[in-house]
Every structure is written in structure tokens, then in C-alpha cells.
Structure 1
Amino acid sequence: MELEKFSFGMGDRFAHQGEAQLKAVINAKEQGVSITPVWNKSNREHKTVKTEPGELRAEADAAVQALGWTGPYRVDADHITLATVDGFIASSDFFTLDVADYIGKPAPESEIEAFVARRKKYIGSLSIPGIYEQFEITVEMLRDVANKFLLAAIEAGKLYKHIAAVKGEDNFIAEVSMDEVNDPQTPVELFFVLSALADNEIKAQTIAPKFTGRFNKGVDYVGNLEQFTKEFEEDILVIKQAIIEFGLPENLKLSVHSGSDKFSLYAPISKLIKKHNTGVHLKTAGTTWLEEMIGLAEAGNEALELTKEIYIDALGRFDELCVPYAAVINVNKSSLPTAEEVKSWTGDKFANTLRHNQQHPDFNPDFRQMLHVAYKVAGEKGDRYYAALKKYKDIVAANVTENLYERHVLPLFLS
């Protein structure tokens, strides 16, 4: 199974927006760009809202049938580990292998020695075509890379082989996720990480490295745009060379995680994937859940009151909701509106405070990040929340489609 050049990971916490999401991809197709939709949901998200992996597959299949989509589509077991993968194997054909917990933990000394021995031919000056800088490789540097990343590659290999033993190696797509860590990987580190993935027989088709800067969920990139652009291009070039050097799949491409609303990055990414004729995978994560909240707020009536209730409840559980996402959010609690303020808001005020329009005077990125991780509260509302989504389906769906197409697909794939 081969992942296409352009793919778009679409998270849907509550499995109600499959058709609205797919319409954004259909709109792109009508403009001449083929994008593979990938519905993704993690074990943590399933547990939080009390759903099962098979429900995501059912949502994707139903959306595809309802809209007559004839192109490829995937269902991603997002951020999966050996401890959680088995529940996803039957319903998923895309697996994001999460090895972040093993980064920085040393592998057995014998494995490190073997890794260094396999890479000895690179000691000296390493040149990557297209990158001006020459990389000086030493035994100490190889050992340092091994100490940081080799155990993660070994564990990813165990997970990959476990999935392959059940599904068959040609029946799924593997992505390796290294993004939810504190420090970015340098291009030369990525080169040797890819060598370790090849050593462990992982036929990865996408890799999600950690880039410089903050990739906070649901809001724009915070960091040095020039440095990101340099890293992204160098990583493209590293991947191209690693494919040749280590026999990795020819369609291996970069994946941008926590990609929701990284608007300032879309122009340089778009330019670079065209320049190098390469693909990209973007995960939009929880953006859809926020668009549901915007639609419900705009609907008014009991739906607006429900959105206010969800926010106020979440505000009182700030640490519980935010701490698990500390690596990927940065909420200034003092900038959050109080419960009393929100109680008086109109639907437009709530929607404009949440919608990611940085030019609107009401937009509040702290409010948006807070609600991004507050989907647990909505899930606890159970039937009330789902009933509101069904009752106000049209206004919610319009927001979901517009967000994905206008703010993500257009600037990234059609600019």
C-alpha cells in the first residue's frame, strides 16, 4: 500500500464531520489537486470521548459512500504504541508509530556499537546534495545520535513488525512520529535516524520530525520562520539522499504534526514542495472540534448555552486538561476570559473569539488553545452535545468545510 504525494490528516474527535471534511478535499480535486484524506484519531482521544477505533473507520466509509468519493482514503491509528496498537489493527490502514518516549534513552551498548560500525563509512565530511554545509561526522557524533535515537528506532521496529505480522507488510502505511519532544532534530541527525529505521526494516512512508519553534495546537507557528524554512528544505534533501543510501521507500515524505493552523508556514512549505517536486502530509488534529464549537455558538439558543457551559467547566479544570498537552500548548491563563464574561457573550462574540482569524479584534489564541484540549468536557456532555451537532448540522458543517478548504488546503496545496 502506497501513500500518495499529498495527504491530509483530518482529526474528528466526535466522528460527526466526515462528510464536511471530505468536501474540502473534493473542492481541491475540482481545482485540479488530488489530496488523500486520512482520518486520524489517537488512543488517548478514543479513551477521552469513550469511542472505539472501528467507529472512525465507519465514519470514513460512510462519508466516502455518501459523497461518492472514488479516490484513495486512509484511517490512521494516530500516535500508537505497542501497548495500544492491537485495538486499531483491524480498522486502520495507516499507523503513526509514536516513539517520543524513547528519544533520549540509550539503547544497549551492543546495539550502539553495531550502529556505529554500520555507519563508519560516513566518518569525515558528509555532503548532502543541495545542502551547502558540509557535516563533519565523528565516532563521538555517531554515538551521540545513537544515544538519543537508536532505542526509539528499535522500538519502532518492534511495533512495525507487530503490525506487519497481522496485516501483512503491504497492507498498511507507516509513519514515524518524533515531533512531541523538546528539542528539534538537526538534518544530520535525521539522516542517521533514517538509517536506523532502515536497519530495523521499517518501510516508513512519512516521518514527522520536531522542527525549531513552537507548534502549539490550534494556533499559528511561533518561532523563526527563516530557520524553519531552512530546516524544512534541508530535511527534504536529507530524505531524498537517505532513500538512495538506505533503501527506504521512494515516496517517503515529511509530515507536519500539530499542523493545525500553522498559517505562516504554509507559504514556504508550498514553495518548497513545488521546488523539490515532493509530497507532504499535514495533520490538522483538533481543528474540526473547534469548528463544531464555532458553529454551535453561531446557532444560538441552547447550542450557544452549551458552548458557554463547556468553556466554563473547562476553565475550572484548567490543570487537568492542559498538563497532558504541555509540550504542544502554551496558554496564558491570565488572558482567558472569566466565566462571568463568557456568560454575557452573544454567539457572534463567542465564535469570533474562537475562530482563527488573527485580524479580528475578538480573536483570543489562549481561549482557542484552552478549548482545543477541552474536548473531554464536551464528551462528558454525551447526548446533549451529540444532539446539538445533529440539530445544527448544516451550520457546523459549513464551518468545518470552510476552515479546512479556505485556511488549509488553499494556501498549502493551491497557492
Structure 2
Amino acid sequence: AERRYLKREININNEFKLQITEKEFLRAYAKYGKAIAHIKTMYDYLKKVANGKPFEVEVSVDETESVTTIFEHFFFANELTRLDVEFVSLAPRFVGDFEKGIDYKGDLNLFKSEYRKHLAVINHFGNYKISLHSGSDKFSVYKVIGSIRGAFTHVKTAGTSYLEALRVVAVKNPSLFKEIFNFALGLYETEKKSYHVSADLNKLKKPEEYSDSELVELFSSNDARQVLHVTFGRVLTTKIDSEFLFKDRILNCLKENEETHYEFLYKHFRKHLEPFE
């Protein structure tokens, strides 16, 4: 593997070249080597069981502790290509923070600079897309990508439509929403452990301290959005005496206010798409 990367210049395009140190190579190999081997094993299995039927493979390395460097992106894509793994998208770990349910946190100028380099790597191979995981609600990032000529991306949304459903509940059935919010506040510290979030409960009041008209404003609060986001599983599955605690009441509220639900969803997803048009 060393011979493929060390003591040579890698031409990404006419303007962008990589000169790899031994440390950079060893770091990439240690960080991604086993993952690449596992992806190859899974890909071969999928190809076998698909038996000629079409399928797509998306690759994600966005939940690593450290940022995916440009060389690491190249290394990952190059090794998968060498192993004849066909994939439609790759999600790097970008600079900055892509937390659940809220906008991007970080230096947008640095993100733009790094995104251009990642885009150059993709254009070098020419057969897959950059993917933004936890990509919903990253409106500032969409504007950056939309401003880059020839840029394209795959956005993986995560829970954002669930929050829009709860927005309907907050507007149309405030008492139910306060129950849900109170339940979510009590679960947040436990449920957040498997998510990349930073909500501070000290910045939120008790549900009963909000007026009904104030509830919808919680969907503009990063802290409230993340509390509601990471507790969705427990909210929708918790039962008391074989009856769902919230699920059926939420669904009934959405059915009774179907047009409002559609209106909220349309407005929210248009906000996601407009920067790319």
C-alpha cells in the first residue's frame, strides 16, 4: 500500500496536488483500513445476493472523532475503487460541527475552502457525490455550496420532518406538546449519548412556564430542537398499559390538521432546496 502513495506526487487536477508524508499515510491506513476491508466484504455480499438486480452503496465516515483530511478522502475513494467497490456517495467528517437538528457551527470560509478540495477529489474519480450526513437544517452550509460553480451534494436529512410534525402539535394542541416537551426534557441526558448534540437544559424553562403562543418559538431554539430531536424514539414508542403514551395522539393531531402539516413541511423543505437552485 505504501508504494501507491509515498514518494510520489498525486495529481488531483491541474491546480491541486498532494504530496503525502509517511505519517499522513499511516494515519489514514490506521483510521480507515479495517473499514475499507469491511465495506469490500459487505459490497461483495450485496452483489451476490442482489443477483444482477440494481443496488446502491452509500459510504459514511462522518462520525469519526477527527476531520477527514483531503488525502484521507482520496485514500478512501482510491482504495474502494481499486477493490472494485461501486458507491454513489461518500460522507466525510467535515470541519466544524454538524450537530443534529440545527444549523452548522464553524467557520464558513474554512468550510468553503475545504469543500472545494473535497469536490476536486470527487471530480478526480468522477463517479460519486459528496454526502452531508446530519445534513438537515444546515442552511448556512447550503448557501456556501450553492455559491460554488459546479458543486453538488447529497443531503441526508435526520429527524427534521419529525420536528415539523411537533410544530403542528405545538400550534394546534399546546397542552399535548407541553406533555411531550416535559417528557423529552426528562430523557435528554440519557438519550443524547448516541448523538452529536450540545443542548443546554439550563437555557430552557419548564413547559408550564411557556404560554401557548410561545411554544412555536421553541423551534427556533437550538437547545429545544435538540432535546425534541434525540428523544423522538422514546416519545413515539413509550406505552402505558399497552397504549402508546403519545404516538396515537400525535398522529390524530396531524390527521386533523393535515393541511397545516403539509404547509409546514413544504415551507421547511423549500428552505432546504432554494440555496441549490
TM-score (norm 1): 0.61
Q: Which residue of structure 1 aligns with residue 176 of structure 2?
A: 306
Select the residue among 80, 87, 102 that pairs with 1:219.
102
Q: State the shift of 1:169 in Å.
A: 5.7
Aligned-partner SS, 2:58: strand
| Cα RMSD after superposing both structures | 1.8
2:193 partner letter: V
- Change in Cα spacing, 1:130 to 1:334, as seen in structure 2 (3 Å) is farther
Matches within 5 A, 1:192-231: 192-231=75-114
Q: State the shift of 1:385 in Å.
A: 2.3
1:205 partner letter: V
- Change in Cα spacing, 1:296 to 1:236, as seen in structure 2 (3 Å) is same
8 Å Cα contact 1:314/1:321 also seen in 2: no
- Change in Cα spacing, 1:222 to 1:389, as seen in structure 2 (3 Å) is same
2:232 partner letter: Y
Q: Which residue of structure 2 aligns with residue 367 of structure 1?
A: 224
Counterparts of 2:68 and 2:15 in 1: how far apart (Å)? 16
2:10 partner letter: L
Which protein has greater RCO, CA pairs closer than 8 Å, 6+ apart? 1
Counterparts of 2:127 and 2:11 in 1: how far apart (Å)? 22
Q: Which residue of structure 1 aligns with residue 132 of structure 2?
A: 256
Q: Which residue of structure 2 aligns with residue 157 of structure 1?
A: 40
Select the residue among 232, 238, 251 that pairs with 1:386.
251
- Change in Cα spacing, 1:341 to 1:169, as seen in structure 2 (3 Å) is farther
Counterparts of 2:15 and 2:101 in 1: how far apart (Å)? 32
8 Å Cα contact 1:337/1:367 also seen in 2: no
Counterparts of 2:235 and 2:258 in 1: how far apart (Å)? 16
Counterparts of 1:306 and 1:202 in 2: how far apart (Å)? 49
The one-character-per-residue Cα deviations of 1:309-368 (angstroms, maximum 9, x if unpaired) are 11101111122211121xx211112112223314xx21x3211221xxxxxxxx321011
Counterparts of 1:172 and 1:157 in 2: how far apart (Å)? 15
Aligned-partner SS, 2:19: strand
Select the residue among 112, 116, 120 that pairs with 2:2.
116
Aligned-partner SS, 2:13: coil
Aligned-partner SS, 2:90: strand
1:258 partner letter: S
Counterparts of 1:195 and 1:287 in 2: how far apart (Å)? 33
- Change in Cα spacing, 1:141 to 1:169, as seen in structure 2 (3 Å) is farther
Matched, 1:291 2:164: yes
The number of aligned residues is 269
Select the residue among 402, 410, 414 that pairs with 2:267.
402
- Change in Cα spacing, 1:335 to 1:304, as seen in structure 2 (3 Å) is same
Select the residue among 55, 67, 76 that pairs with 1:184.
67
Counterparts of 2:91 and 2:52 in 1: how far apart (Å)? 21
Q: State the shift of 1:151 in Å.
A: 0.7
Select the residue among 224, 228, 233 that pairs with 1:376.
233
2:129 partner letter: K
Matched, 1:317 2:187: yes
Counterparts of 2:37 and 2:200 in 1: how far apart (Å)? 38
The one-character-per-residue Cα deviations of 1:166-215 (angstroms, maximum 9, x if unpaired) are 22465111110111122111111111111121233220111110100011
8 Å Cα contact 2:103/2:140 also seen in 1: yes
Aligned-partner SS, 1:317: helix
Counterparts of 2:65 and 2:23 in 1: how far apart (Å)? 22
8 Å Cα contact 2:61/2:91 also seen in 1: yes
Counterparts of 2:111 and 2:52 in 1: how far apart (Å)? 34
TM-score (norm 2): 0.90
Residue ranges of structure 1 left out of the alignment (5+ in a row) = 1-114, 244-249, 355-362
Greater helix fraction, Structure 1 or Structure 2: 2
Select the residue among 9, 13, 38 that pairs with 1:129.
13
Counterparts of 2:188 and 2:262 in 1: how far apart (Å)? 28
Q: Percent identity?
A: 30
- Change in Cα spacing, 1:219 to 1:294, as seen in structure 2 (3 Å) is same
2:135 partner letter: G
Counterparts of 1:163 and 1:279 in 2: how far apart (Å)? 27
